[in-house]
């Protein structure tokens, strides 16, 4: 496809230093000017000051300058603002006010790790010994930014913007509530949700396997149990294992592994999900604050203060 990945996101928060410290604990590497990097994706998160927490900018990688020109043509035909320079463009999603930057970018190269062996009925893959995940001593480091979830007061219009104008594809839908959209072979890179105010719901970061999901969350919670939000579980849409935590500004962050990949569009049929199936296949039920974060009213009035 013409688009092939998320490059980076910029989140605005009232408490920049505290939020950067949180994502450093989460496993990202801090750099100057509010940037943090993943292992394979490079600088993929920027934290900037803002009166209320929100998604300020989302970056998307395209394969060729012709792809940029085609997107710019579609945007201008809609009367949308466009700043283009041949290898990239900037525009604004009109409902949420999120800046969208599309640039020609190289694909993320990920070294193929040896498959983690798991024992099961009739198969003894690990031989004699304890599970390899038990002996891991290094800190969990996210490999790349996987997706971002954005609340919109007109989710149908925001979905149309990303699909018809930018070029995302729809992987699955949540009935009357949102859609999982992809700009890569990952099941989703953007999830747009119906919400009473535009806000950043969560960012999601890939780790190697379920052991790293659990190890990462356990490390984050050892001295800060208040960070826990929801997990461990497995989603239905995307099929990934998940564990959600909350940063000091109120944004959720997710460790995930084993995401569905759509390498052949002809072999994938989008589903319209209802009820709990739209959220998870197994695991504990989500807390009410995951579905409707506690600070939405404050964000709506612009009076949000961090805890």
Read off φ and ψ for residue 225, nearest 5 degrees.
-60, -20
Cα 28 from Cα 19, distance rounded (Å): 12
For residue 246, list its beta bridge partners. Answer: 252
**What are the pLDDT digits (tens) for 250-278?**
999 999 999 999 999 999 999 999 987 78
**What span, in angstroms and rounded, lies between the C-alpha atoms of 255 and 26?**
9
Q: First and final CA of the chain: distance in angstroms? A: 42
Quick: pLDDT tens for 36-48.
999 999 999 999 9
Residue pair 141/38 in contact (Cβ under 8 Å)? The answer is: yes
How many CB atoms lie under 10 A from the CB of residue 135? 8
Domain 3-107+139-301 sits in CATH at 3.10.180.10
Q: Starting from the edge strand earliest in sequence, which strands make up the sheet with 99-104, in order?
A: 29-30, 35-38, 42-49, 3-13, 54-62, 99-104, 88-92, 83-84
How are beta strands 228-234 and 272-273 bridged, if at all? unpaired
Q: How far apart are CA 12 and CA 49, in angstroms?
A: 5
Q: Burial of 143 by CB count in 10 Å (0-12 exposed, 13-18 middle, 19+ buried)? A: buried
**pLDDT-derived band at 177, boundaries 50, 70, 90:** very high
- pLDDT tens for 13-38 read 999 999 999 999 999 999 999 999 99
| Average pLDDT rounded to a whole number, residues 78-91 | 95
Q: Which DSSP state fits 294?
A: T
CA-nearest of 60, 161, 56 to 102 is 60
- Compute the distance between CA of residue 96 and CA of residue 158 in angstroms, rounded to an integer: 8
Average pLDDT over residues 113-122: 89
Judged against a pLDDT cut of 70, whether residue 303 lies above it is answered with no
Q: Where are the domains of the chain?
A: 3-107+139-301
Query: Mean pLDDT, the chain, as a whole number?
Result: 95
Cα(98)–Cα(228) distance, integer angstroms: 27
Give yes or no for a cis peptide into 60 (omega within 30° of 0): no
pTM assigned to the model: 0.95
Cα 82 from Cα 300, distance rounded (Å): 28
């Amino acid at each position: 496809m013409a688009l092939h990945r998320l490059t980076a996101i910029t989140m605005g928060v009232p408490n920049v230093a505290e939020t950067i410290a949180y994502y450093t604990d989460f496993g990202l590497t801090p750099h100057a000017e509010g940037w943090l990097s993943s292992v394979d994706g490079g600088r993929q998160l920027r934290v900037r000051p803002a009166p209320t927490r929100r998604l300020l900018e989302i970056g998307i990688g395209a394969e060729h300058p012709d792809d940029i020109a085609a997107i710019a043509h579609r945007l201008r035909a809609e009367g949308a603002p466009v700043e283009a320079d041949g290898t990239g463009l900037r525009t604004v999603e009109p409902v949420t006010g999120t800046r969208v930057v599309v640039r020609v970018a190289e694909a993320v190269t990920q070294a193929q790790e040896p498959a983690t062996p798991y024992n099961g009925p009739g198969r003894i893959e690990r031989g004699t010994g304890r599970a390899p995940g038990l002996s891991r001593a290094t800190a969990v480091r996210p490999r790349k930014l996987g997706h971002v979830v954005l609340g919109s007061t007109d989710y149908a219009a925001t979905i149309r913007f990303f699909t018809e104008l930018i070029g995302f594809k729809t992987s699955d839908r949540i009935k009357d509530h949102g859609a999982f959209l992809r700009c890569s072979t990952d099941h989703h890179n953007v999830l747009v949700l119906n919400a009473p105010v535009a806000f950043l719901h969560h960012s999601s970061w890939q780790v190697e396997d379920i052991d790293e999901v659990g190890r990462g969350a356990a490390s984050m919670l050892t001295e800060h149990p208040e960070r826990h939000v929801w997990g461990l579980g497995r989603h239905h849409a995307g099929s990934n294992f998940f564990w959600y935590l909350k940063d000091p500004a109120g944004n959720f962050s997710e460790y995930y592994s084993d995401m569905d990949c759509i390498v052949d569009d002809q072999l994938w049929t989008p589903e319209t999900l209802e009820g709990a199936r739209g959220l998870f296949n197994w695991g504990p039920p989500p807390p009410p604050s995951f579905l409707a974060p506690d600070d939405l009213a404050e964000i709506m009035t612009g009076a949000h203060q961090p805890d």
